Amino acid sequence: MHKMDISTERKVVIVVIALFLHLVLVSTHVVLENKRTLFQTAIGVVISPFQIAFQKTVDFISNQFQRYIFLHGSEKRNQELTEQITQLKLDINRLKVQVHDLEFLAHVRKQNIKYHNPIKVDVISIDRNAPLSSLIINKGYDSGIKKDMIVLNGDGELVGKIVEPITPFTAKVRLITSSNGGVGAYLEKNLLEGFIIGSNTSVCIFKYLIESKFVGVGDRVVTSGTDQIFPPYIPIGIVTATEKELLTQKVIVKPFFIEKSIKQLLVAENFQEISFTAIPERPSSSEEHR
Amino acid sequence: MERKAKFILLAIFILLQIAVQRYSNVFRINLDLIYLILVYVAIKSNFYKTLIVATIIGLATDMFSMQILGVFGFARTALAFALNEISNHIDFKNNVVVFLLISISLCLSNSIANLFFYFIEPGFGLSLNMILYQPILTGLAGIALLGNSRIKRILDVY
């Protein structure tokens, strides 16, 4: 047998390849801690960068297609989403109004005064020429509003009464500070009776009080019920100043509602239908369950 | 005639190796007579034939030893290549040289395999049987079986 004439470099290369193949064979039997063979791990290490690069390239191209080519439905979709957003904003506003209404009604309930079918209303307009004369509310005779119904604030204090005009969806409220009309009233501490007249300012005048009777600053004034419009014992205001006149005295009264919000009001039936009996204590939760 | 004699020797070596493998536990002899065939092929054949035979013998050794496939293949291939390269510079008439050649090359080959097992197989340490006893015994067997000048003439190793 004679030996072939092969260059040393070529022999070395072939031997190295042969040995490498043996190493590959060995690596298929070596199990690493990750339960994979060395061969699988090596292949994974070698292949994974290409795999990741390929995946990212495909993702990138897909995204570009999605962004720039498949946009024909985006305008319609945008319009739908805009409509949804608008509807949601309206819903949020409606819910906010409902929350405010509920808060107001809860506050009213705390005042311990019971009305027959009170109607909660919102003020939508105030007379710009005489802001303390009258205002417009957002409910009319469609909601059961009638002339001469009494108007109270959230604390159950007198604000005014319903007057004409009354439309299906709005009604006018004449405030007790208006120079038109008046309210029969007396001092709460001694039942000294008189008549409250407004002056289109933030105070009212308590007229027809006998000069000899003492009236102190800070005395509370409530309705007397003698005018047959307002039921008795509704808080009106507080005495802020007195002035002696011939036979009578002039008393300045500041209504309670002046310093409080009149954004939300209560409209209740007038004298005949209203009662001021205290609301009985609510039964405890355990009693309710029973 | 020489070709026929070579086949007979090959058959004898294979049968002896099977017998040794079978009764190795009884006689506590660990020989690798197949390696003698590989040495003969490496010193007498061309590069490609050496490489192919070394690979086959190495993988066969792996299968018979029930160890990791490829370890002895690697070791035998590397040593067969080395033997093939240095065979032109060795005097095969001298049996001591032949003994040293067989023993040292097998020692190196088994050392490589031992190194693989040490790193791959948990708990596999240094094996004197592989590195020392088997090469010496195989070298002695090689001298005993092939040292005769007549057999050398048949095998054309002069």
* End-to-end alpha carbon distance in chain A: 113
What single DSSP character describes residue B131? I
State the amino acid at position A246 in one-letter form: L
Mean pLDDT of B92-117: 90
pLDDT per residue over A225-237, tens digit each? Answer: 888 788 888 889 9
pLDDT at B100 over 80: yes
**Which residues of B are less than 8 Å from A11 in CB distance?**
47, 81, 85
- pLDDT on residue B147: 80
- Which one is predicted more confidently, A238 or B6? A238
Q: Name the residue with tokens 């006689």.
A: B27
- pLDDT on residue B20: 80
pLDDT at B25 over 80: no
- pLDDT on residue A286: 46
Q: How many angstroms from the chain centroid is the CA of residue B66?
A: 18
- pLDDT on residue A239: 92
Residue A26 sits at the chain B interface (C-beta within 8 Å):
yes
Q: Do A22 and B70 touch (CB under 8 A)?
A: yes
pLDDT at A290 over 50: no
Residue A223 CA to residue A157 CA, distance in Å, equals 10
- Which one is predicted more confidently, B37 or A276? B37
The minimum CA-CA distance between B73 and chain A, rounded to whole Å, is: 6
Residue B136 sits at the chain A interface (C-beta within 8 Å):
no
B45 class by beta-carbon count within 10 Å (0-12 exposed, 13-18 middle, 19+ buried): buried
**Token pair recorded at residue A113:** 């005064």
Mean pLDDT of A209-230: 84
Residue B81 CA to residue B49 CA, distance in Å, equals 10
Residue B128 CA to residue B121 CA, distance in Å, equals 17
pLDDT at A19 over 70: yes
Residue B77 sits at the chain A interface (C-beta within 8 Å):
yes
Alpha-carbon dihedral angle through residues A239, A241, A244, A247, given to the nearest 10 degrees: -20
pLDDT per residue over A178-200, tens digit each? Answer: 888 888 888 888 878 888 998 88
Cβ atoms of residues A145 and A119 within 8 Å: yes
Cβ atoms of residues B59 and B69 within 8 Å: yes
Residue A92 CA to residue A100 CA, distance in Å, equals 12
What single DSSP character describes residue A280? P
What single DSSP character describes residue A143? G
pTM: 0.45
What single DSSP character describes residue A120? E
Mean pLDDT of A43-56: 89
The minimum CA-CA distance between B27 and chain A, rounded to whole Å, is: 31
Quote the percentage of chain B above a pLDDT of 70.
96
**Which residues of A are less than 8 Å from B47 in CB distance?**
3-4, 6, 11, 14
**Which residues of A are less than 8 Å from B74 in CB distance?**
19, 22-23, 26
**Token pair recorded at residue A149:** 């119904």
The minimum CA-CA distance between A51 and chain B, rounded to whole Å, is: 29
pLDDT at A272 over 60: no
Q: Do B46 and A24 touch (CB under 8 A)?
A: no
The band of A93, judged by pLDDT with boundaries at 50, 70 and 90, is: very high
Residue A28 sits at the chain B interface (C-beta within 8 Å):
yes
**Which residues of A are less than 8 Å from B71 in CB distance?**
22, 26
Nearest CA in chain A to B43: A3
Helix, strand, or coil (residue B151): helix
- pLDDT on residue A13: 92
Mean pLDDT highest for which of A21-30, A51-60, A68-77, B139-148? A51-60
Q: Do A18 and B77 touch (CB under 8 A)?
A: yes
Residue B71 sits at the chain A interface (C-beta within 8 Å):
yes
Quote the percentage of chain A above a pLDDT of 90.
19
- Which one is predicted more confidently, B154 or A284? B154
- pLDDT on residue A82: 93
Q: Do A22 and B51 touch (CB under 8 A)?
A: no
State the amino acid at position A288 in one-letter form: E
- pLDDT on residue B158: 66
- Which one is predicted more confidently, A214 or A52? A52
Cβ atoms of residues A189 and A219 within 8 Å: yes
Cβ atoms of residues A238 and A256 within 8 Å: yes
What single DSSP character describes residue A178? S
Cβ atoms of residues A227 and A264 within 8 Å: no
Nearest CA in chain B to A27: B70
pLDDT at A120 over 60: yes
Helix, strand, or coil (residue B61): helix
**Which residues of B are less than 8 Å from A18 in CB distance?**
51, 55, 77
Burial per residue of A242-278, b for 16 or more beta-carbon CB atoms within 10 angstroms, e otherwise: beeeeebbbbbbbbbbbeeebebbbbbbbeeebeeee
Helix, strand, or coil (residue A75): helix
The band of A274, judged by pLDDT with boundaries at 50, 70 and 90, is: very low
Of the candidate ranges A89-103, A144-158, A275-289, B24-38, the one whose mean pLDDT is the lowest:
A275-289
Residue B65 sits at the chain A interface (C-beta within 8 Å):
no
**Token pair recorded at residue A12:** 């070395």
- Which one is predicted more confidently, A28 or B79? B79
Mean pLDDT of A3-8: 71
- pLDDT on residue B1: 59
- pLDDT on residue A264: 86
Residue A102 CA to residue A120 CA, distance in Å, equals 10
Query: H or E segment at B74?
Result: helix B71-86
Q: Among A1, A22, A25, whose Cβ lies nearest the Cβ of B45?
A: A1
- Which one is predicted more confidently, A275 or A135? A135
The band of B19, judged by pLDDT with boundaries at 50, 70 and 90, is: confident
pLDDT at A154 over 90: no
Q: Do B55 and A30 touch (CB under 8 A)?
A: no
